[in-house]
Amino acid sequence: MNIEKGKNVMVVSAILTLLVAVLKGIVGYISGSVALTADALHSLSDVLGPIAVYFGLKLAQKEPNTKFPYGYSRAESLASLAVSFIIFITGIEILKQSIEKFDNPTPIHHHFAAIFVMVVSLVITYYLYWYKAKVGKEIGSDAMIGEGAHSLVDFYTTIAVLFAVIGSYFGYYIVEPIVGGIISLIVIILGLKMIKKDIYMLMDYCDEETAEKIKNITLSVRGVEGAHHLKARKSGPYLFCDIHIEVDENLPFKSAHKISEEVVDKIKENIKNISDITVHIDPVKKRYIKVAIPTDEINGNIMDFGIAPWFSVAKYFVFTNIDTYKQIINNIEIKENPAKNLNKKRGIKITDFLINNGVDGVIVKAIGAGTYNALGNNYIKIIKTDKNTIKEAIEEFISILKSD
Ligand SMILES: [Zn+2]
Ligand SMILES: [Zn+2]
């Protein structure tokens, strides 16, 4: 509904601005005022840009086919580039006329028609400024508020033209080409900016901020150990993205694929207008693996503690960080099981706890189905053991690493 409201504002704005542009253009032509003609072009460029974008968007929404498998999203940039170029060229033309008139100032004709049109334009432009600022605040759209600010600038340039026309009426012919020259310079700069934007789009540009955001989202997905070769590109209104993710080489293919799907979903959720994401999976060997082992003991040497018979009701978990390159224990610590007294949802609570502690796998004697599934869904590896002490279990685990 908000978007509908925003759309309505833009339609009203386009119609009124087009009206203003046509009025200024006609009177600019019959009065011979370069200032008015330049301002007409300015108004025209204000309205043609959005119109080109609108029709470009329509075309961009066309379904891809075998001839254009990536769709028609570039159409927007192409349409916009054509319009930007016309604006730029016309701006230069009026700048030339202004310079000629500056060298040889001549009066303009039909002053009152010109003044009338400028006053009408002033009222309309100020109304557009007020309307866009109001709706922009209502729907919380920065773009709309920015549009409003633009209308305010248009309002001031229109005042300058009005002064130029009045000046000409009182015999100050020189004011008019000066105002015309300044406005045509503004139009030229606007045109150049638009051309730059369009070319960026056509050249597969992507701003670093978006790329950084995509990378961070990717890294936040559980099971993603790293990410590289991120390539994002804007194509018209859409964003395409390729990324390589690094996942543990020991994960089953199904799990690795699921992680890649989660990456896609999470990026789509958080980045606007993303249309296509290709995820390539690279297997990596993790250097450090954190393993949790359940125990009921707390006093003495951790390595001599017995392994608790049942995983989820154990009093404590021993966390050990193993360096898989050197195949040694990096560090070892013990933490209380936060779920040991729970009657329900123990598996979920423990899984959250283990995830927060960065655990990759657990070594167990016996485990309930709920906990087993919760751990498995989060890619925490479950290793069964017959050993009795922490020391034996870790030694067994390291010997498995060696044989890998
Ligand atoms: Zn403008
Ligand atoms: Zn790669």
38 CA to middle of ligand 1, Å?
Answer: 11
Rounded average pLDDT over 168-189: 85
Which ligand is in closest contact with the Cα of 284?
A: 2
DSSP 44-69: HHHHHHHHHHHHHHHHHTSPP-SSST
pLDDT over 80 (residue 106):
no
- SS3 label, residue 306: strand
pLDDT digits (tens, 9 = 90+) for 285-302: 888 899 999 999 999 999
Residue 374 token pair:
């919760």
pLDDT over 90 (residue 74):
no
pLDDT over 70 (residue 1):
no
Q: What is the mean pLDDT of the chain?
A: 87
252 CA to middle of ligand 2, Å?
Answer: 18
Complex-level ipTM: 0.70
At what angle are helices 142-169 and 2-31 packed, to 10 degrees?
20
Rounded average pLDDT over 140-151: 76
221 CA to middle of ligand 2, Å?
Answer: 17
DSSP 110-122: -HHHHHHHHHHHH
Cα-to-chain-centroid distance, residue 235 = 13
Neighbours of 371 (CB within 10 A): 24
Secondary-structure breakdown of the chain: helix, strand, coil percentages, each rounded to the nearest 5: 60, 15, 25
pLDDT digits (tens, 9 = 90+) for 218-233: 999 988 999 999 998 8
Spell out which residues have Cβ within 5 A of ligand 2, the ion: 244, 282
Residue 273 token pair:
């207008």
168 CA to middle of ligand 1, Å?
Answer: 24
326 CA to middle of ligand 2, Å?
Answer: 25
Q: How far apart are CA 379 and CA 49, in angstroms?
A: 50
Rounded average pLDDT over 346-355: 91
- SS3 label, residue 232: strand
Q: What is the pLDDT of residue 245?
A: 96
- SS3 label, residue 291: strand
Rg value, the chain, Cα = 34
167 CA to middle of ligand 1, Å?
Answer: 23
Whole-Å CA distances, 219 to 60, 278, 352: 31, 15, 18
Instruction: Please name the amino acid found at residue 234.
Output: K
Q: What is the pLDDT of residue 308?
A: 94
pLDDT over 70 (residue 3):
no
Q: How far apart are CA 374 and CA 341, in angstroms?
A: 18
Closest by CA position to 319, among listed 349, 355, 285 = 355
330 CA to middle of ligand 2, Å?
Answer: 28
Which ligand is in closest contact with the Cα of 230?
A: 2
Closest by CA position to 10, among listed 132, 125, 121, 127 = 132
- SS3 label, residue 206: coil
Neighbours of 79 (CB within 10 A): 24
| Sign of the alpha-carbon torsion through 49, 51, 54, 57 | negative
249 CA to middle of ligand 1, Å?
Answer: 57
Which ligand is in closest contact with the Cα of 155?
A: 1
Q: How far apart are CA 157 and CA 163, in angstroms?
A: 10
The DSSP bridge partners found for residue 363 are 383
pLDDT over 70 (residue 175):
yes
pLDDT over 90 (residue 111):
no
Please, are residues 383 and 363 in contact by the beta-carbon 8 Å criterion? Answer: yes
187 CA to middle of ligand 1, Å?
Answer: 8
Residue 352 phi/psi, 5-degree rounding, is -60, -45
Which ligand is in closest contact with the Cα of 42?
A: 1
Rounded average pLDDT over 347-374: 92
Rounded average pLDDT over 239-261: 91
pLDDT digits (tens, 9 = 90+) for 82-97: 878 888 888 888 888 8
Neighbours of 399 (CB within 10 A): 11
pLDDT over 50 (residue 188):
yes
What domains are there in the chain, each with its CATH number?
A: 2-202 (1.20.1510), 208-284 (3.30.70.1350), 288-403 (3.30.420.130)
Q: How far apart are CA 211 and CA 205, in angstroms?
A: 11
151 CA to middle of ligand 1, Å?
Answer: 6
- Return the DSSP state at 237: T
Residue 283 phi/psi, 5-degree rounding, is -80, 135
What b/e sequence results for 209-237 when a residue is b if at least 16 CB atoms lie within 10 Å of its CB, and e otherwise? Answer: ebbeebbebbeebebbbebeebebebbbb
